[in-house]
Structure 1
């Protein structure tokens, strides 16, 4: 939930096995599409300035890395793929809804799209095309 009335949720179950002091964890399968639903909760104190908004979905590392370290990790992953066209994040445009115009690839790990929150929620289906072990020469990490 954001401080300006937007609510986002990933349609995937949350892991039941976690330590009390840890954040909630959701495990997703490589290549499987999951819906992300975006909603706007109208707030008279913070009205929208425009009917159409831009949302960006970005895949990032949980551990904080510098931008340079993160780019190197993505480049390492990409260098090990069979095709230069392989994406880290794929979007299923046919099964997405409430989106205005095309879904754009804005970075090696991000997509962007426009939607009109005043007309209702939007849903975009995404698939992550990597595993955590893809970022290490050592397997089982």
Structure 2
């Protein structure tokens, strides 16, 4: 039985293995420079300032037809189907970037009982000892190196910042897998990407980006860490296509009904939904849950 922590971010062994890429142009023995970097990191722009994501992560799957404007975008996926995820570093870092993809629960109420949900799911599988909620597809992926599986619900890997990469992933769970009740409505899940890269410039120059700065390594140099996510629902077989088709039909009927009203163009329903697009861009993780992925190491999961 594997005794390694199920919830592990970036294992220390991988840090030692790639220690040669940790030396950035700002690496120095001067404690004063390190202190200046830390002071810069703590004096970044105010929370009111608009932040942007440094890493552009795009899931190659269309967003749902019925998306309410006040909610984060939603994407329907099929269990077992390979989906491509494009990774781009807007700053084009000339070295390896460590990333980790995790599937987790989206709603805070479900996150609170995540351990019991996953324990239930694992014990429903034919081979609980080797059950995985997601898998890396090596045959289709491009630019992905040093793949690691620190837990049943995640995959870690490296990619070159200047070259970019494309990760192909398969999901093995359904949104309806976490309840004993038949016919229950599927719950939304979250695909979360965490990327970590050595800081090679003054943190003040990074003030417009939404990530944070942490000292994780023995050399005490700062790393830039950023998380983004995509909200999804997982269906069996071709369920994602059927769901989108049914939603489009239902929405079409509603809009057709509105067209017969005298003031249809000013009806609030026209503003309720976002238009579907053929790809799903990862967005910034809500602040209260930004680093929850690194805080769990619970042996209760039957693994």
Name the TM-score, length of structure 1 as normaliser.
Answer: 0.84
Q: Does the alignment pair 1:98 with 2:147?
A: no
Q: Give the drift of 1:132.
A: 1.1
Task: Say whether 1:63 aligns with 2:107.
Answer: yes
Residues 96, 160 of structure 2: 8 Å contact kept: yes
| Structure number with higher helix proportion | 2
Change (3 A) 1:129 1:17: same
For 1:85-117, what per-residue CA distance to the aligned partner results, in whole angstroms no more than 9, with x for missing partners?
22101110111111123x211122110000111
| Structure 1: gaps (5+ residues) | none
Measure, in 2, the Cα distance between the counterparts of 1:94 and 1:3.
32
Residues 57-93 of structure 1 deviation map (CA, whole Å, 9 limit, x = unaligned): 0001111158662122111101001112221011101
Match of 2:173 in 1: 130
Match of 2:65 in 1: 16
Which of residues 111, 123, 126 in structure 1 aligns to 2:155?
A: 111
Please say if 1:52 is aligned against 2:96.
yes
Where do 4+ consecutive residues of structure 1 move more than 6 Å?
none
Residue 173 of structure 2 aligns to a residue in which SS? coil
Partner secondary structure for residue 78 of structure 1 = helix
Unaligned runs of 5+ in 2: 1-50, 185-303
Aligned positions, number: 133
